Each structure stands twice: as structure tokens, then as C-alpha cells.
Amino acid sequence: MSIKAKIEAISPDETLETCAREIIVNYFHEMMSYKDGAKEGHDIEFVHDMRVTSRRLRNAMDNFADCFSKKSFRKHYQKVKAITQTMGAVRDLDVLIDRFQKTLGTLPEAEQADIRELILHLQREREEARKPMLTLFTELEATGFETKFLEFFVGTDLK
């Protein structure tokens, strides 16, 4: 189940750090809401949405980096960057496959066989590209990344 970031606690009366935490945590929740769908791999939109949201999260983290201790922040930032990169490899292939599938019916029969072969080749490449993504998800789950990320960015005063 996916959720869209709902940023409500932003106010001129709040500190920059409080607002930064709210924005980052909301983007993080949205990004992680696409993980199960991305892992299943049946609907290409989950990979797309997770990647887009990871980029938004990274942009927010870039903008508010000065609000947090450098060492811990950098560690979390690098994990989000790894998510973006592994999703990108899969997404690029999803786009190619989708494009060829959409044009398949518009081609003469003689060319369709070649395009079908190309689609099968790209689907095999996609499965290979999914392996690092799935490995990363497994590593993140095993190390408690989600909990650690939220503990760092929510902060004890905001729980």
C-alpha cells in the first residue's frame, strides 16, 4: 500500500529543524510505502514512484543537511542514494520494455518477431537489474535501516 507524503506540521512558528524533520520523515514514509510493490515487480509504477520519491527525499536532505550531525546524516543519506541508484537501473529497463510493447502492434508482422525477441532480452536484463535492488532491500531490512532512519530523523522530542 502506498501513501503520499502529507506534510502538515510546517509553520513559521516551528524551528527549521522541526520542519526539516517533518519533511524528511514524510518523504521517507512515502518512499518506503512503495517497497513491497517494487519487490514484487509486477507493476512498474512502484519502482518509478519509489525512485521519484527517493530523489525528492534526497533533495530535502540536501536542503536541510545543516540541521543534523554530519556523520550520522551522511550514513542515512548514502543509503537513500543507494536506493535511488538501484531503482534507476530497473526503471530504465521498465521504460524501454513498456515503450517496445506499446509500439509492437503498430509494426508489420515481420518486424514484430524481432521486437518480441528484444523485449524478452530486456526482460531478462531487468531481472538481473532487480537482483541488486532486492539484495539492497534485504540488507536494509536486516540492519534495521528503517527504524534507525526514523529514530535519527524523528528525534526523541518529536515522537
Query: Given a cut of 50, is residue 19 above it in pLDDT?
Result: yes
Q: How confident is the model at residue 5 (pLDDT cuts 50, 70, 90)?
A: low
Which residue, among 79, 119, 117, has the nearest Cα to 95 in the 3D structure? 119
pLDDT in tens, 89-145: 999 999 999 999 999 989 998 899 999 999 999 999 999 999 999 999 999 999 999
Share above pLDDT 90 across residues of the chain, in percent, rounded to a whole number = 80
Q: Which three cell numbers stand for residue 53?
A: 520519491
Average pLDDT, the chain: 91
Longest dimension (CA), the chain: 67
pLDDT of the residue at 3: 62
pLDDT of the residue at 20: 92
pLDDT of the residue at 13: 78
Q: Name the H helices within 68-108.
A: 70-104
pLDDT in tens, 37-46: 999 999 999 9
